[in-house]
Amino acid sequence: MLRTARRRRAKDGGVWYPRWFWPSFAAPGSLWLLVLFAVPFYVVLSVAFGTVDPIFRNPVPVWNPIQWYPGTFRDVLGQIFGTNAFLGPPFLRTFLYVAMASAICLLIAYPVAYYVARYAGRRRGMLLVLLIAPFWISYMMRMLAWVNLLGNDGLVNRSLTSLHLVGHPVAWLSGRPITVVLGLVYGYIPYMILPLFAGLDRIDTNLLEAARDLGANRARTFARVTLPLSKQAILAGMVIVALPMFGDYFTNDLLSGSPKTSMIGNLIADSVGTPGQGTNAAVLVLILTVILIIPMLYYVSSTGRATRERSG
């Protein structure tokens, strides 16, 4: 007993705790997530590979993996990739919209974060508060604001017609990809600015001065020093906006509402609510999870690495 105590003491930097002490703190949260976050994925698997009640049309999960029925899964895959692939376009569209929206987010967020990190001076605190403000404004309210502005008699159409840029009001809110993409940008860009700001703020200004001293001009300093050093932040920012965009359906519903712009999120949201489509919804959720697993693992491992580096 004494020897174990001494060994643990040496490992923990001189402090002794009973073995169960720290695990007991983490246990409630861990169990909560185990029951309501991890186990649910098994339930989704059981529903996706389960059957449908012939009368009530609700999905019947099959708990035993040996008896799993892959029919629905195969059907859905066929609808995405097969000859009669009516689910294919929404999948492609999702990738296209998310790629465009994340790229626009980066193009806008990078200069903003760069300015605040490097040049804001005394106004830095105020600017940070203004940049964080959208976090505190409900997402739905921000979308509602655009629904108001982009309506047929909304302010955007009125200014455009009064300036004679367009003859009659543009129907921004009925199935226009550009509205959906810009809506996604507007909705998620604050999530990108903050990691970018943190990353750019960490860059040692001595390195920039060294580059200037060695004869690099502004553009070269930026391209050879600042940009490479902010690569991690850029990747993290892209992942952190792209992940929720993949699961977004409400932006699309509010700003377009047309099947012409529907995305994977819309497919899931629509099939969850439709009787007899529950199994399809489960399959689509599984497919979306598989698609997103690589960016999610990238984000988790990069934050894990950052934590380890900081804790030494």
Ranges within 236-295 binding other proteins (CB under 8 A): 239-240, 243-244, 246-250, 253-254, 257, 265, 268-269, 272, 278, 281-282, 285, 288-289, 292
All residues at 6 or more sequence positions from 303 whose CB lies less than 8 Å from its CB, including other chains: 236
Number of residues this chain uses to bind other proteins (CB under 8 A): 108
Stretch in the footprint of other proteins (CB under 8 A) among 66-74, 78-86, 120-128, 226-234:
120-128
Going residue by residue from 52 to 91, which x/- string records binding to other proteins, judged by CB under 8 A?
A: ------xx-x------------------------------
Give the shortest CB-101-to-other proteins separation in angstroms: 15
Asked if residues 221 and 208 have their Cβ atoms less than 8 Å apart, the reply is yes
Give the shortest CB-14-to-other proteins separation in angstroms: 6
Using CA atoms, how far apart are residues 309 and 312, in angstroms rounded to an integer?
5
Give the CA distances from residue 192 to residues 97, 98, 133, 241, 283, in Å, rounded to whole numbers and listed in that order.
17, 14, 14, 6, 30
Give the shortest CB-83-to-other proteins separation in angstroms: 28
Q: What SS3 class is residue 312?
A: coil
Q: Which of 2, 14, 55, 214 binds other proteins (CB under 8 A)?
A: 14
Site for other proteins in 18-57 (CB under 8 A): 18, 21-30, 32-34, 36-41, 43-44, 46-47
Q: Which is nearer to other proteins, 89 or 246 (CB)?
A: 246
Instruction: Name the residue type at position 98.
Output: V
Q: Which is nearer to other proteins, 83 or 206 (CB)?
A: 206
Asked if residues 192 and 238 have their Cβ atoms less than 8 Å apart, the reply is yes
All residues at 6 or more sequence positions from 18 whose CB lies less than 8 Å from its CB, including other chains: none
Give the shortest CB-303-to-other proteins separation in angstroms: 6
Stretch in the footprint of other proteins (CB under 8 A) among 69-77, 94-102, 105-113, 226-234:
105-113
Using CA atoms, how far apart are residues 147 and 182, in angstroms rounded to an integer?
12
Q: Which of 17, 56, 74, 88 binds other proteins (CB under 8 A)?
A: 17
3-class SS string, 139-168? HHHHHHHHHHHHCCCCHHHHHHHHCCCCCC
Using CA atoms, how far apart are residues 76 and 90, in angstroms rounded to an integer?
13
Query: Which residue carries 């964080």 as its tokens?
Result: 132
* Sign of the alpha-carbon dihedral angle for 143, 105, 293, 74: positive
Q: Which is nearer to other proteins, 83 or 215 (CB)?
A: 215
Using CA atoms, how far apart are residues 288 and 269, in angstroms rounded to an integer?
13
Q: Which is nearer to other proteins, 26 or 165 (CB)?
A: 26
Asked if residues 191 and 161 have their Cβ atoms less than 8 Å apart, the reply is no
Q: Which of 7, 135, 224, 231 binds other proteins (CB under 8 A)?
A: 135
Give the shortest CB-66-to-other proteins separation in angstroms: 19
Query: Which residue carries 């909304």 as its tokens?
Result: 154
Stretch in the footprint of other proteins (CB under 8 A) among 64-72, 89-97, 151-159, 226-234:
151-159
Residue 170 binds other proteins (CB under 8 A): no
Give the shortest CB-20-to-other proteins separation in angstroms: 10
